[in-house]
Chain A
Amino acid sequence: MIRKQAIRVISSEIGNNVIVSANGYISRDLFDVNDKSKNFYMIGSMGLSSSIALGVAIKNPKKRIFVFDGDGNILMNLGSLTTIGSLKPKNLIHIVFDNEIHESTGSQPTQTQHISIKKLAKSANYKAFQVSTQNNLKKVLNQIKKIPGPIMVVVKIQGSNSISKRVTLDTIEIRDRFLNSLKNKH
């Protein structure tokens, strides 16, 4: 499975939920597959998507908040796991697309070749899952609907040559439509 396939599966399974997505190819794939106002594309500030999502989750306890993170991204902000695990937001679902490389900078290796993010998340009070096929991904997404968060789903993916177009919205537009979408009750 490549990232874009995984993002396609998740987007169709979770519907119109809030997603905070990490910089690099993750946001580009999401923008290409399923752009919507409830997506916050984090263009810069690598590592911080789970922190932004935590802020959103705390303030919107009745909404399910998804993070689309990468292995390189979460490794830059491992402290975020301990903050999330301490606060235990029930509505936070942390998805990590793990290709074990920094794909957008030329596929240099990350340390998830040696260290399991799922284990780290478990130590930090998450309920953690790991999948590597589309079928298992669908199963887990279904399973977690009834489980209170924080939840981590590590999606093992392969590197890919397919590169999605850049996010063409400007940052103020991303901000405003996301902010306005959160004002709705649903």
Chain B
Amino acid sequence: MKKISQARMFDYLLTKKIENYIGVPDSTMKHFIDRGLKKKKILITTREDEAIGIAVGMYLSGSLSLVFMQNAGFANSISTITSLVQLYEIPLIFLIGWRGYLKNDAPEHTKIGKIQPHILKILELQSKLVTNDNWKYCCDWAVKKIKQKQSCALVIRRIFYD
């Protein structure tokens, strides 16, 4: 996703009362995070499950969050999603960077990139692929979900090499 789309996406979610942006950085969404850092709205944690824990505490205090992570970190978070987020029915927006989407991405991303859509499905976590053209629609969808007290995921594909 282009820099400008990522920055606009951040600004848009902020106007929709998503107050907290917590997670572990991913270069796939660098510009989204940079925008949030500029606005002093980002909390970087050591691990993804830690970020989810903090976001749950904030939800219990009446404040909505987006938790961002790479898909490697999403895999790290599965138990926290099932035994905290889903067990207590806590609505959160996940923003996940899809490494391994391109076939020749770095080797450590190949397997998780391949199974990521299946994991989302098995977890019954509804998701949408965010692009330069549909980000506003995806944000509206996610905000609607979270206000209906359902968690959901927005996925940004890695479509460049470094």
Contacts and interface: CB of A to CB of B under 8 A. Distances in A.
Interface of A: 20, 40, 42-45, 47-60, 77, 79-80, 82-83, 87, 171-172, 174-175, 178-179, 182-183
A59 B55 CA distance: 11
Nearest to B61: A59
B60 A178 contact: yes
A83 B61 CA distance: 19
Interface in B71-94: 79-80, 82-84, 87-90
Contact of A79 (B46, B88, B89, B90): B46
Interface string B41-66: 00101110111111111111111000
Interface in B83-109: 83-84, 87-90
Contacts of B84: 42, 44-45, 48
Nearest to A80: B50
B53 A43 contact: no
A27 to B, nearest CB: 13
A51 B82 CA distance: 17
Given A51-B50, A51-B53, A175-B90, A59 B58 contact: yes
A79 to B, nearest CB: 3
Contact of A179 (B46, B47, B50, B62): B62
A175 B50 contact: no
Contact of B61 (A60, A77, A82): A60
Contacts of A183: 62
Given A43-B87, A80-B46, A175-B90, A52 B62 contact: no
A56 B61 contact: yes
Given A44-B83, A44-B84, A175-B90, A52 B60 contact: yes
B88 A174 contact: yes
Nearest to B22: A55
Q: Is the interface of B mostly helix, strand, loop or mixed?
A: helix
B63 A48 contact: no
Contacts of B89: 171-172, 175
A79 B59 CA distance: 21
Contacts of B45: 51, 79, 83
A54 B57 contact: yes
Given A48-B56, A48-B84, 14 more contacts: A43-B87, A44-B79, A47-B49, A48-B49, A48-B52, A55-B54, A55-B56, A55-B60, A55-B61, A58-B54, A59-B57, A83-B46, A182-B61, A182-B62
Sorted nearest first, the 10 A-B pairs with minimum C-beta distance are A55-B57, A79-B46, A44-B83, A51-B53, A59-B61, A48-B53, A45-B84, A55-B54, A56-B57, A55-B58
Interface in B136-157: none
Nearest to A183: B62
A182 B43 CA distance: 22
Contacts of A79: 45-47, 50
Contact of B49 (A45, A56, A58, A172): A45
A44 B87 contact: yes
A175 to B, nearest CB: 5
Interface in B3-27: none
